């Protein structure tokens, strides 16, 4: 007599062939923990983005002041007022003035080249042999620079 109600024995290897094993669970959990560990750093970066902008503003200031020094040295004539500079370079009038929240450069009163952004206030003063510039940006940082004109040393008698 045959027994038909008996279930065939299954091997343990084939029982969980399509399941989620403990090793896979540990691997997924370790990836999850690594992602979660970067979460506080990302919050710090997102909520303190202004520090990055302030550092970028400092670099922008350094590039701007080097370009302006070169142009002041090449100038034949300079007219300094409190809120603008007019330089005569190679027969052209170059004007630096505040425009909104930026500092712009115009050649012969044409065009509009933004040379410094996020400027809160700016002042120019004439000093002996050059000019002094003070800029306060929107991050409450104050920058100042002294720019000197090129002097023709051929006319001086140096021993």
Give the whole-angstrom CA distance, residue 119 versus residue 125: 17
> So what's the pLDDT on residue 34?
93
Tell me which residue has tokens 């750093």: 41
Give the whole-angstrom CA distance, residue 121 versus residue 51: 20
pLDDT in tens, 87-103: 988 889 999 999 998 99
The structure's pTM equals 0.61
Is the pLDDT at 106 greater than 90? The verdict is yes
Is the pLDDT at 153 greater than 50? The verdict is no
> So what's the pLDDT on residue 159?
47
Give the whole-angstrom CA distance, residue 125 versus residue 146: 10
What's the whole-number mean pLDDT along residues 105-120?
89
Task: Sketch the domain layout of the chain as residue ranges.
Answer: 77-159
């Amino acid at each position: 007599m045959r027994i038909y109600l008996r279930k065939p024995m299954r091997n343990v290897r084939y029982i969980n062939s399509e399941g989620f094993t403990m090793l896979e669970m540990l691997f997924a959990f370790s990836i999850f923990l690594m992602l979660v560990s970067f979460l506080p750093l990302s919050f710090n970066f997102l909520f303190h983005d202004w520090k990055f902008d302030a550092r970028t503003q400092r670099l922008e200031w350094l590039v701007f002041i080097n370009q302006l020094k070169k142009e002041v040295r090449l100038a034949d004539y300079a007219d300094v007022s409190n809120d603008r500079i007019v330089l005569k370079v190679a027969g052209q009038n170059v004007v630096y003035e505040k425009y909104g929240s930026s500092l712009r450069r115009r050649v012969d009163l044409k065009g509009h080249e933004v040379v410094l952004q996020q400027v809160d206030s700016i002042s120019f003063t004439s000093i002996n042999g050059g000019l002094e510039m003070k800029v306060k940006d929107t991050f409450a940082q104050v920058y100042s620079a002294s720019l000197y004109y090129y002097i023709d040393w051929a006319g001086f008698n140096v021993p």
